[in-house]
Structure 1
Amino acid sequence: MLRDRTDTRATLWRIASGQRGFFTAAQAREAGYSYQAQHYHAQRGNWILVDRGIYRFREFDSLPGSEDDHLVRWALWSRGRATVSHTTALSVHDLGTANPSEIHLTVPSGFRQKDSAVVLHHADLASDEIEERDGYRVTTPVRAIVECAAARLDQDVLDSAVAEALDRGLTTRRSLLHAAQQFGARAELGVERALREVT
């Protein structure tokens, strides 16, 4: 039975709407678009080719975007396995003065994809270390601070992130210290230094 074109578009639109207009070739295929139809829509400009096998509906591209729209693209690139982390996560949470020039993603230990546009960190994250966002996942404020401390982030940036997290009630001193101790000596030292700076 042939699928109605309107139904096919509506199905894909529903998927893309939860991903800020982005979708994969595989998702389009599941919605009912053949690879030939996908090529046609990209050629006509109905879909914008963002990366190999990743598209975005043209209508979303003309809407005012959010600063983190591009993070959805990386979630799709990783097939939903990457979590935004480290300084990129601090930026998402608007903590401190972090202004990363690179996108940091934490991926499971068996993850093999690579791209020069991202910095990959391998770790198996627990569910309580992750927050779901619209189209992507990000490490919690506590996890982001601790992993930045372990990575020897500039202490001034770490200090400002810790101060803001405490000020906004996102965590407590005790929770931060406990998480840092679980992460290792380097993380613990960075967090202790930051806590000493908080008045």
Structure 2
Amino acid sequence: MLTDRTDTRAKLWRTASVQRGYFTAAQAKDAGYSYQAQRYHTQHGNWLQVDRAIYRFREFVDLPAEGDEQLVRWSLWSKGRAAVSHATALTMHDLGTASPSRIHMTVPRNFRQQTDALILHRAELTEGDVEERVGYRVTTPLRALVECAAVGEDQNALDIAIAKALSQGLVTQPKLLYAAQQVGPRAELGVERALAAAS
């Protein structure tokens, strides 16, 4: 039985709509678009190709940006294995003092893809380490603070972020200290200094 083109588009649209208009070639194939049909839609400007095997419906480009569209794109690039982390996650939680110039993402240790567009960190995140957003995952405020301490993030920026997180009730001192101890001495030292500055 032939699939109605409207049904095919509607199926792909439902997938893309929760991903800010982005979708992968595999998702398009699952919706009923052959690779030949995908090539056609790209060549005729119906879809914008943003990366290898990643597309976006043209209609979404004209919508007001929410500021995190690129995070959805990179989540798709990683096949959902990456989580926004470190300084980028602090910005997403409104704890960062400045928007980082490059996106930080944490991927599993066995992740093999590479790109110069991201700063990739390798770690095994637990379910409690991440929060779901529309189209991507981001590390929790607690995890993001400890990550930044572990990589030697600017201590002044870390002090400000931790003070803000404490005042907003996003983290507690005991949980912050415990999480830092689990990550390592550098994280523990950075967190202790930030807590001393906040008291």
- TM tier relative to shorter chain: over 0.9
Counterpart of 2:153, as a letter, is: L
Residue pair 2:47, 2:57 contacting (<8 A) in 1 also: yes
1:92-171 equivalences in 2 (<5 Å): 92-171=92-171
Unaligned runs of 5+ in 2: none
Residue pair 2:84, 2:139 contacting (<8 A) in 1 also: yes
RMSD of equivalent CA atoms: 0.8
Residue equivalent to 1:43: 43
Partner SS state of residue 138, structure 2: strand
Give the whole-Å Cα distance in 1 for the aligned partners of 2:96 and 2:194.
Answer: 12
Residue pair 1:75, 1:135 contacting (<8 A) in 2 also: yes
Counterpart of 2:186, as a letter, is: R
Partner SS state of residue 65, structure 2: coil
Give the whole-Å Cα distance in 2 for the aligned partners of 1:167 and 1:55.
Answer: 41
Percent identity over the alignment is 66
1:5-84 equivalences in 2 (<5 Å): 5-84=5-84
Counterpart of 2:63, as a letter, is: L
Partner SS state of residue 153, structure 2: coil
Q: Deviations over 1:110-134 (max 9, x none)?
A: 1000001011111110100000000
Give the whole-Å Cα distance in 1 for the aligned partners of 2:96 and 2:8.
Answer: 44
Instruction: Identify if the C-alpha distance between structure 1 residues 180 and 132 changes in structure 2 by more than 3 Å, giving closer, same or farther.
Output: same
Partner SS state of residue 37, structure 2: helix
Counterpart of 1:64, as a letter, is: P
Give the whole-Å Cα distance in 2 for the aligned partners of 1:151 and 1:72.
Answer: 24
TM-score (norm 1): 0.98
Residue 98 (structure 1) shift: 3.7
TM-score (norm 2): 0.98
Give the whole-Å Cα distance in 2 for the aligned partners of 1:94 and 1:54.
Answer: 29
Bigger mean CA deviation after superposition, 95-104 or 146-155: 95-104
Q: Deviations over 1:48-68 (max 9, x none)?
A: 111110001111110001111
Q: How many residues align?
A: 199
Residue 168 (structure 1) shift: 1.0
Q: Deviations over 1:120-171 (max 9, x none)?
A: 1111101000000000000000000001000000001101110111111101
Give the whole-Å Cα distance in 2 for the aligned partners of 1:12 and 1:155.
Answer: 45
Partner SS state of residue 160, structure 1: helix
Counterpart of 1:142, as a letter, is: L
Unaligned runs of 5+ in 1: none
Residue 173 (structure 1) shift: 1.0
Give the whole-Å Cα distance in 1 for the aligned partners of 2:167 and 2:21.
Answer: 35
Give the whole-Å Cα distance in 2 for the aligned partners of 1:22 and 1:99.
Answer: 23
Residue pair 2:180, 2:191 contacting (<8 A) in 1 also: yes
Counterpart of 2:187, as a letter, is: A
- Detail structure 1 runs of 4+ shifted over 3 Å in the superposition: none
